A = this chain, B = another copy of it.
């Protein structure tokens, strides 16, 4: 009997899970707001809870997405720098070391006056980056590109680089720290980064853009402060690992970067799907449906609930859920007949924390002919009653692949 292979859509509603919110009478946003379309996928499918990385582990969006794509982040996560670089479209190669940077304001003695240089942004950051990109220190090429707001990436390309160095980010401290090597092998790399820091200050301190800022009473962005050094991630490409063509539908640079590093294509989106609070979920869902015509596997990320969670705004998060529910309705009405759909989040972002937590996240998996359970409310508690039980992030893709009739028999 030839069983047709199904396509797969994984919808990651970033940071959607929560804890009891005092502003919502002790309910979570998912418990507080009606969401009949999200519930439809659960009622017609199976619910469960999922530890994105592991029980009690508080994941970043990066490590959580690696898990959701079926990888063990403890094996493949090599620091945020390389993922950020991939996310903004830098061409990171084996042997490179990438670091995330902030534009900052320092005085002559390298005291940090403003860690974000007055939240400088484009086009000024692009103007400043232009004079930094391509600096050579000890034979190492320093590639620089602006990222969102006051952020940028520094990519080192050359021989004998090693990412085991400390952050130059002063954190709570006020004096800019030089990078220290954590291993003997990384001494050369620390020296290169510190050399870049000095050269960077020399080139930025009197830069015309900064002169204009000072004249306007704004802090000059006269240094780039690097942190999160990492090397090129060594990841088995997702299409080879699972035998499918795959794309991501995401607006946020970092998510795109992670997906690209895992070998997924980044599906082009219109400007109004940009991973902000105002991102248009219906357009994004339309793009996901289009992508499913071309690809076997599509991961879709909606960033807005995470933003509301970081803002600690339970009411705003509830409003986002209404829009996500409308999106779920669109998917329900427009999806191909034989699709496997997983609705979940990469981590909880409880409003009372304003940050990620290690709580398990709700998950619903739907496809035709799946064994239904009694779970009916897509929420942290409602999904916990479902037939999936408690799974891990990296179980999601194997479970979907099997429901899609795409797995090889192990044994006979």
- Residues of A participating in the B interface, judged by any CB pair closer than 8 Å: 1, 3, 18-22, 26, 28, 49, 53-64, 73, 77, 80, 228, 312, 350, 352-360, 368-374, 380-381, 384-392, 395, 397-403, 405, 407-412
Closest 8 CB pairs of A and B: A60-B411, A56-B398, A389-B390, A63-B411, A358-B402, A384-B387, A1-B354, A55-B395
Contact of A374 among B61, B385, B395 (CB under 8 A): B385
Residues in B whose Cβ lies below 8 Å from that of A384: 373, 386-387, 389
CA distance A234 to B153 in the complex (A): 42
CA gap between A352 and B385 in the complex, in Å: 27
Q: Is A408's CB under 8 angstroms from B58's CB?
A: yes
Give the distance to chain B from A298, nearest Cβ to Cβ, in Å.
18
The complex places the Cα of A20 from the Cα of B372 at a distance, in Å, of: 8
Residues of B contacting A399 with CB < 8 Å? Answer: 55-56, 358
Q: How many copies does the complex hold?
A: 2
B391 touching A391, Cβ below 8 Å? no
Known interface pairs A19-B370, A371-B28, A381-B371; A59-B3 also in contact (CB < 8 Å)? no
> Which B residue's beta carbon lies closest to that of A379?
B371
Q: What would be 17 A-B contacts, judged by CB atoms less than 8 Å apart? A: A49-B387, A49-B389, A55-B392, A56-B401, A57-B398, A58-B408, A58-B410, A61-B411, A61-B412, A77-B411, A80-B411, A359-B371, A359-B403, A360-B389, A372-B381, A380-B387, A384-B386
The residue on B at minimum CB distance from A385 is B374
Per DSSP, chain A at the interface is loop
If the complex has contacts A3-B352, A389-B390, are A411 and B369 also in contact, measured as CB distance less than 8 A?
no
A408-B392 Cα distance, complex, nearest whole Å: 19
Alpha-carbon distance A183/B371, docked complex (angstroms): 44
| A21 CA to B228 CA, complexed, in Å | 51
Task: Please determine whether A411 and B371 come into contact, CB atoms closer than 8 angstroms.
Answer: no
For the complex, what is the distance from the CA of A19 to the CA of B402, rounded to whole Å?
12
Among B354, B369, B398, point to the contact of A358 (Cβ < 8 A). B398
Q: Are the CB atoms of B20 and A371 closer together than 8 Å? A: yes
CA distance A369 to B22 in the complex (A): 8
Given contacts A372-B381, A381-B371, are A411 and B354 in contact (CB under 8 A)?
A: no
- Name the contact of A355 in the complex, choosing from B360, B395, B409 (C-beta under 8 A): B409
Contact yes or no, B410 A60, CB < 8 A: yes
* Docked CA distance A404–B3 (Å): 43
Contact A1 B312 (CB under 8 A): yes
Task: For A372, list chain B residues within 8 Å (CB).
Answer: 20, 381
